[in-house]
Chain A
Amino acid sequence: MKWILFAWKNVMRNKRRSLTAMLITAMGTAAVLIGGGFALFTYESLEEMTARDSGHVVLAAARGFDNDEDVPLQHGLIGAAALAAHYGTQQGVRAVAPRIQFSGLISNGDKSAVFVGSGVDPAVDFRLRGPQLNFVAGEAPGPSEAVPEVAIGDELATLMKAKVGGSLTLLATTTEGNLNAVDVVVRGIVKTGVPDIDRRLVMTDIRAVQRLLLTDKVGSLAIYLKDTAQTEAIAAQVKAANPELAVRTWRDLAVFYQAVRALYNRIFGILGLIMVVIVAFAMSNTLGMAVVERTREIGTLRAIGTQPGEVVRNFVLEGVAIGTAGAAIGMLAAGLTTLGLIFAGLEMPPPPGRSTGYPLLLSFSPALYLGATLVVVALAAAAAWFVSRRAAHKPITEALAHV
């Protein structure tokens, strides 16, 4: 305790210089925590978005993910209802939703456009996708009626001049290679924020799609879990129980998520590295000047019996004190920024390929805060060790003669 107190008194010996080092350390810590918090929030949001879109674990027929079908659902999944019923009751499973991805032409009688459709279970999908499907008009389609209901993208609605309650016709190739058509009623108009999707999106009850494609197969079965962290464990169980099927996790299917994560890891990794250099430089500069100024004092302490290692330890404690104080201030600043952004309601501009922004928020991660603090303190200690070790080993007579 005496040594820590001694170190702190030495830190306070030149308040302005120590405070400058603390503030630089604090800024570095805050920058890393704010940048890291933003990256974590982005990862979590993308994880949530991707898992809500695809399901946490996705089952398909053996070649169901190969995308090389001659006709629609050539590699479709048979017996999906039994699988859905089985996994729907498993522990940790929130819901199971069958899916069919299909495409064709959509027509209002006057003109046609290409659509990319998704056959879903209305009772499950529209509930689970949550805020991802922003209904700008109408509401989610219900179960298949004689005239099926659809939700379409807002840009497609504009193109088709479709309004809620209006009729459209879907034309698609059946599983037998023939053309088939079905009249549908627009029940809702959605905006996903991705113009490419909103220009082509059609969602409807999967049973209507099966009638259109003349099949009882489904494209895939999406298993939604209560806890995303269980994804790998459940996927392994499903794979083991169904070796004849193909099993993918949301992470396997999330190309965008993986790309963003790789990009952000690189960007924030470099930012972290820059901060490390700045903090190390500030700390070395501050403690280096202290060492030079106190060379004679070091000589005195050495003369009266202080070992070189003890001299270095005292400087390391000073570095740790500055680093800890700086990290504490940085954590406080980052914490307040995290809280402030919750109330500020700021929005990030739309990323490339999207038409809507997303909230500017930071995730609070105790592990990140602890890690950043440990790095900063270790860096300060290392800098102090580096700058003081030579002075501590300087011949005592030389140190005492230092002016």
Chain B
Amino acid sequence: MNAPTLELPVRSATVRLTDLRKRYRVGDDWAEALKGVSLTAAAGEMVALTGPSGSGKSTLLNLAGLIDTPDAGTREIAGHAVDGLDDAALTNLRREQVGFIFQGFNLVPVMNVADNVEYPLLLLGRPPAERRRKVAEMLESTGLAGFAGRLPDALSGGQRQRVAIARALVKSPSLVIADEPTANLDSHTAQQIVDLLRELSHERGAAVVVATHDERMSAHCDRVLRLADGELVKGERQ
């Protein structure tokens, strides 16, 4: 029997996760990280996942971002049925449809700002002129136009997270996965990052699933889903 899920109907779903289950081996035992969680998110919608540590937020994000495989359940991203695809096909799907924003920014330190933002387009084999144009647009949108040649080490935390947002959205993905994107930022900068992420994802029609402990972040999301012990316990549209 499926665990209870709380989910509200949304516009045409970009992401549809149904009855996802995942367990991990802990010593000789198994720990259930997700107990049949379902989630949908529409284009331009921002969904917050909240809950205490160990509640299953990161596991759900990993499954939604196609970097982990569920033990049971189905996933659909931008109309693509995901389950059963091999690693190469999943990687290609991530390359085209999924952007990631990490808590620790995870920028490539030897690449300057422009190169970090350009990288996903390089993977997609976009022509140089198109890459240059899109990177310039993205840097302009994220307020980084004057920082194109700087290395990540020479940027503040807020600026690095802006670069990460630019990198995630430059390819206009269907889905953006954000794991605690404001955790390492001061409140003022965190607010700017939340606003920026919301604005750009709406503008580009990307569904955003964000795991956060930050109430300022969740307050700006279209929906807030609370996870506890691997189950969705609360869902509310703001």
A interface residues with partner B (beta carbon < 8 Å): 2, 6, 9-10, 12-13, 296-297, 300-308, 310, 395-397, 400
If the complex has contacts A304-B94, A305-B96, A307-B88, are A6 and B62 also in contact, measured as CB distance less than 8 A?
Answer: no
State whether B109 touches A397 (Cβ < 8 A): no
B68 in the interface, Cβ–Cβ < 8 Å? yes
Complex Cα distance A395/B87, Å? 10
B110 & A306 in contact (Cβ 8 Å cutoff): no
Considering only CB atoms, which chain A residue lies closest to B119 in the complex? A304
Is B88 within 8 A of A305, CB to CB? no
Q: A13-B109, A300-B106 are in contact. Are A305 and B123 (CB under 8 A)?
A: yes
- Could you tell me if A2 and B122 are in contact, using CB atoms closer than 8 angstroms? yes
* Cα A301 to Cα B87 with chains together (Å): 14
Known A6-B111, A303-B65, A400-B106; 16 more pairs at CB < 8 Å: A2-B122, A9-B110, A9-B111, A13-B110, A300-B102, A303-B67, A304-B94, A304-B99, A304-B100, A304-B123, A305-B94, A305-B120, A310-B123, A396-B67, A397-B67, A400-B102
State the main secondary structure of chain A at its contact with B: helix
| Distance of A6 Cα from B124 Cα, bound (Å) | 16
Give CA–CA (A388, B167) in the complex, Å: 25
B95 contacts chain A at the CB level, 8 A cutoff: yes
A306 to B94, CA, bound (A): 9
B12 within 8 A of A: no
Q: B42 to chain A: closest CB distance in Å?
A: 23
Q: What is the bound-complex CA distance between A296 and B110, given in angstroms? A: 14
- B187 in the interface, Cβ–Cβ < 8 Å? no
B167 touches A304 (CB 8 A): yes
- A-side contacts of B99, CB under 8 Å: 304
B98-123 contacts to A, CB under 8 A, are: 98-100, 102, 106, 108-111, 115, 119-120, 122-123
CA distance A307 to B89 in the complex (A): 9
A-B contact pairs, 24 of them (CB 8 A): A9-B110, A9-B111, A13-B110, A296-B106, A297-B106, A297-B108, A300-B100, A300-B102, A300-B106, A302-B91, A303-B65, A303-B67, A304-B98, A304-B99, A305-B92, A305-B96, A305-B120, A306-B91, A307-B91, A308-B91, A395-B68, A397-B67, A397-B68, A400-B102
Report the count of interface residues on B (CB-CB < 8 A): 28
For A309, the closest partner residue in chain B by CB is B88
**Residue contact B111 to A308, C-beta cutoff 8 Å:** no
Chain A residues, CB < 8 A from B98: 304-305
Give CA–CA (A161, B95) in the complex, Å.
94
- The reply to whether B123 and A306 form a contact with Cβ atoms under 8 Å apart is yes
Q: For residue A395, which residues in chain B have a CB less than 8 angstroms away from its CB?
A: 68
Give the complex CA separation of A393 and B91 in angstroms. 12
Cα–Cα, bound, A12→B151 (Å): 14
Which of B65, B110, B167 is in CB contact (< 8 Å) with A6? Answer: B110
Residues of B within 8 A of A6 (CB): 110-111, 115
Question: Chain B residues with Cβ under 8 A from A304's Cβ?
Answer: 94-95, 98-100, 119-120, 123, 167-168
CA distance A368 to B124 in the complex (A): 41
Q: What's the Cα separation between A9 and B109 when bound, in Å? A: 10
Expressed in whole angstroms, the Cα–Cα distance for A55 and B112 within the complex equals: 68
Task: Report whether B123 and A10 are in contact in the complex, using a CB–CB cutoff of 8 Å.
Answer: no
What residues of chain B lie closer than 8 Å to A2, measured between beta carbons? Answer: 122
Q: How far, in whole Å, are A304 and B98 apart by their CA atoms in the complex? A: 7
